[in-house]
Amino acid sequence: MSTDTEENTGRDRELRQRPATRWETVQPWATLAARLALAGVVGYAGYTKVIVPALSVQSVQAYQLFGDDVSRFIGYTLPLFEIALALLLVLGLATRLTGIVGALLMGVFIAGIASAWARGLNIDCGCFGTGGPVAEGETAYGLDIARDLGFMALGLFVAVWPRSPFSVDRVLGLYPGRDQRR
Amino acid sequence: MSKASRKANRERLRQERIKEQKRAKRNKLLAVIGAAVAVVALVVGGGYLVMRLQEGSSSGFEGATAPQTLQQDGSVVMAADGARAPVVEVYADYQCPACRNFEQTNSDTLKQLAADGRAIVHLRPVSIFAAQPDPISSNSLRGGAAARAAADHGRFVEYNDVLFENQPAEGSEGFSVEDLTAWGEEVGITDPAFAERVAAEDAVVEKFVTDYYPELAAKAQADIPDRVQTMRLAELMEWGSDNGVDATFLDDTYVGELLDATAAVNAKYSEGDNAFAGTPSVYVNGVLMGNEAYTVNGLVQAVEDAEAGEPDTLPVAGDDSMAPAESPSSSPSKENPDE
């Protein structure tokens, strides 16, 4: 967590006095970009699933990891959770936590895809919209995992450097900008 | 006050101020996290309710189903007597998970629409998985053939439900002859002819999957490796018949009929926006529905927006008592009417 207390005022004063390093200038904007990119991906993924819950359920079932009722529940709520996460990222509310949760979610997806791969299932990852079984040789597990690793990196970036402009956190003074530090 | 004690005092105050700041900071963080959790709970909880409402109630059809009439191609029309309503064609494969989802969502909707005379429901089993590896192929074919046998006994609609309820997981053996027979009794088929037919069709499936198709695929791979990739099963089988891979064991079998029905839908909806590209495919008066078919409201809306139509098949002869009052004989050319 940020250590924005009097203990650091000496260092902060020093920070304020010397000109910002390039990283200090760039980082908040990079975080903003990462926030919005991850929000776009997760929000789109949620949207494409939420409009057709039956297919979302089918995508979950295709992994053959859960019983029917659990698959159904996940199929309905996961897209909503993704949309909520996207909303939080756009708002910049609890940025660090949101980044961590986003990265964890990607970790779960990667684990799911890897397990489908390992078990020799022929399925679409169901990441966006419709999933389910596909013909042999039409799977794209490696690509899906690589893509999710990229999204995971976005989440981790946001978690490690949560300071960013246009965020509710900043308005509340949680991860203040450089100029606003006491 | 000594200088030392003043200094200690100042230090104590400073420590307290730091502690105070840390506490405020922590409270702020907790509040923000609380707000974030609240947002998630609101979106997920509220969204879940809205989704269920939008989907409409998917359960609860309990009345008598509309009369079901076996058609010459092996499909079944479920419609109220004399119904003038849009035709809803449902093409499905019993091994296809998406079909199962469609069925779970909208089986009752279809029954309701048919019973109310608001739709002529045309249930058309196909096998898109016939050329997939066993047991995906054998499950698909055995299920479809058994459903056709159930139609002989006027219980297709009920049997259709049971098959989807018990759909085997992708890649695992299912739809055994014993199960298929037992499910027949479950839906009220007492005639032993049903069990005999199911067993006979199983033998056909077995021959198709273990002898016929591997031979056909191997020969085609050897003789026409360039073309084989793009050929549909029906074309491939036709090629086989001309090149010494005998398919006559399929004649007059329900497996053969199922494959013919599959070829027929590929030919009927061969191109354009309405092209048949997989199952389930739901057509309202020949217009392919998109994902809205998977919600109750989406399906009902599509039916309500459509004009009355007529099935493009004829009831089997000698089945007059169950045939729809309208003569469907005038409509063999009713393809893609709304394009």
User: How far is Cα B238 from Cα B232, in angstroms, rounded to an integer?
Assistant: 10
Asked if B22 has any chain A CB less than 8 Å from its own CB, the reply is: yes
Give residue-wise pLDDT tens across range A49-88: 988 887 888 889 889 899 878 988 999 999 999 999 999 9
Closest Cβ opposite residue A62 in set B97, B105, B133: B97
Lowest mean pLDDT among A75-84, B121-130, B252-261, B323-332: B323-332
Query: Residues 25 to 54 of A: which have CB under 8 A from any B CB?
Result: 50-54
SS3 B81: coil
User: How far is Cα A77 from Cα B179, in angstroms, rounded to an integer?
Assistant: 34
Nearest partner of B93 among B141, B134, B133, judged by Cα: B141
Q: Does the residue A103 lie in any domain?
A: yes
Q: Does the residue A83 lie in any domain?
A: yes
Give residue-wise pLDDT tens across range A128-144: 876 677 766 678 899 99
The average confidence (pLDDT) of chain B is: 88
> Which positions in chain B touch A81 (Cβ < 8 Å)?
40, 43-44
Does the pLDDT of residue A23 top 70, yes or no? yes
Q: Does the residue A181 lie in any domain?
A: no
B32·A121 Cβ contact <8 A: no
Closest Cβ opposite residue B25 in set A4, A57, A135: A4
Give residue-wise pLDDT tens across range B104-126: 889 999 999 999 999 999 999 99
B177 min Cα distance to partner chain A (Å) = 24
Does the pLDDT of residue B321 top 60, yes or no? no
Nearest partner of A128 among A63, A41, A38, judged by Cα: A41
User: How far is Cα B25 from Cα A104, in angstroms, rounded to an integer?
Assistant: 25
The total number of structural domains that make up chain A: 1
Segments forming the whole domain that contains residue A135: 27-173
Yes or no: domain B68-330 corresponds to CATH 3.40.50.720: no
- Checking ipTM against 0.95, whether it exceeds it is no
Q: Does the residue A18 lie in any domain?
A: no
Asked if A80 has any chain B CB less than 8 Å from its own CB, the reply is: yes
> Which positions in chain A touch B56 (Cβ < 8 Å)?
none
User: How far is Cα B283 from Cα B293, in angstroms, rounded to an integer?
Assistant: 9
* Inter-chain contacts counted by CB atoms under 8 A, chains A and B: 99
Return the pLDDT at B297: 87
Q: Does the residue A86 lie in any domain?
A: yes
Three-class HEC string of A130-167:
CCEECCCCCCCHHHHHHHHHHHHHHHHHHHHCCCCCCC
Return the pLDDT at B59: 55
> Which positions in chain A touch B39 (Cβ < 8 Å)?
84, 87-88, 91, 93
Give residue-wise pLDDT tens across range A104-126: 999 999 999 999 999 888 888 88
> Which positions in chain A touch B47 (Cβ < 8 Å)?
50, 80, 83
Q: What whole-number percentage of chain B has pLDDT above 70?
A: 91
Does the pLDDT of residue B143 top 90, yes or no? yes
More confident: B39 or B101 = B39
Q: Does the residue A149 lie in any domain?
A: yes
Does the pLDDT of residue A160 top 70, yes or no? yes
User: How far is Cα B22 from Cα B104, in angstroms, rounded to an integer?
Assistant: 55
Closest Cβ opposite residue B18 in set A6, A54, A58: A6
- Residue spans per domain, chain B: 1-55, 68-330
> Which positions in chain A touch B133 (Cβ < 8 Å)?
136
Q: Does the residue A47 lie in any domain?
A: yes
B40·A58 Cβ contact <8 A: no
